[in-house]
A and B are shown apart, each in its own frame.
Chain A
């Protein structure tokens, strides 16, 4: 998901977060599509950005290639500090998040409908493996 300014929002995009008025009143639920009417309403209320679901335009191969390049760049950035355990933990965390992102994206490509609904809680082991 990503936050975009209201002038970049177009009808049909799917809200990744519920939209509320400044006083908390619900305007549109999570998962609902943006409409012309909603955009006019948001402009009137001075709401200047919305969070939308990102559409995945990459293929499976491209996602895997991007991930491979990411790990390569990550190794290059961390080339100097191999012995520092704090920085090793940081690197592991970065890697964990990238893997999670890769897997969610692949799930979205393989099964566009269910993936956006049932995104699971992060596995408990992730934080622990960082500490190991």
Chain B
């Protein structure tokens, strides 16, 4: 299953952002964070909101150069964009001027694959995410959930070795979300890729992954715990939540997270001044 070879390593990553109010005092979003993903491993990263999950993923994608630290892909230092990775963004990132199908084929087109061939592959991917009949629609004509599925197809169409997914399903309703999660697991088991899956939903993290990494609250975010998820596969994300093993894991990880969530909460929602 999973061998010892790391397909993606982040080593002692620190990200400082210049703060607008006080340029002399940069905001340290991520400090000395290390994490690694083995080939074919599904890693979920959880952490309180604003802790730096997207920042870490941008570093892994090569979109953001860390202030210090190293990124390695298959042991090689990463230069520029991570060509081995596909990225599913937290925000809507489809090209609004391209139809759903043209969005899915965009990456193939950029790679110079012949148009007819690209269309056929794109159509097949749309079918696989349940949008076979919606290829001609523009993003604004699709629902939020449909757009997420187009984004998934767009990423998978390039068959990347590493999948970076930033809260891909958090905007969906529970039913659609579980459908998509099962779909993702099915696609992933058919063709094992290394996955970093970011979520703030611990249940989602446990039900999908091989390993859950818990991040501390910011500033100075870094991993504070790692939990191997030894639930059997294939899994059904809805059913697995009811098993005693799942509940035990959930309790353990939640316990580790609770303090961090409270910390993040306290930092972001400072008490109102007296009399307000």
Chains A and B belong together in one complex: no
B contact set with A: CB distance below 8 Å: none
